[in-house]
Amino acid sequence: MAFIIATAAVTGVVLFAYSSKNSVSYGQQCSGAFCWGYRLDQARFVARTSLTIWSSSGLKLEYSLPPGVIVPVDQDRWLGNGRAIYLNFRIQRAANSKEPGDHVRIVYDFQRGTMHVASPLTLWRNGDPRSPDARPNWLTDDQFDGVLIQIDPTM
């Protein structure tokens, strides 16, 4: 019996540590009864950061980000009359680091269901398996800026 109680206690602590999180950034748009948005969360007690893209129609995409501290570069912006979200932040590997961190720019177009990423980090992207270095297939900053302008010409 003591073993069961101890196991339940340890399981509870682990679940609490993994589920306890702070929302670093959150936003949503609505049109009628339909809503869509994003949430950028960091776990409080473990090195875990995640980006969730969601909609009230059942869409729920979750992406893990490398451990570190999320530092906003600019305020997140809704583009194309709210059809796409533009996230612009850095990931510092250690809290209170003097290093600027790795730059991450993400745009998710809810209307088209497409995501574009510009970052030196691998994140969740796959490269060309035929190439020993997949990075040439990733968007450059200029290509990413072109995607932003296509979605919202005022960028």
Domain range summary for the chain, segments of one domain joined by +: 20-151
Q: What's the confidence (pLDDT) of residue 9?
A: 45
Q: Cα separation of 87 and 141, whole Å?
A: 14
Q: Mean pLDDT across the stretch 37-54?
A: 87
C-alpha 19: how far from chain center? 17
Residue 106 has pLDDT above 80, yes or no: yes
- Average pLDDT, integer, range 102-117: 93
What is the structure's pLDDT at 89? 92
Indicate whether 132 pLDDT > 50.
yes
Judged against a pLDDT cut of 50, whether residue 47 lies above it is answered with: yes
Over residues 10-35, mean pLDDT: 69
Select from 78, 31, 81, 80 the least CA-distant residue to 57: 31
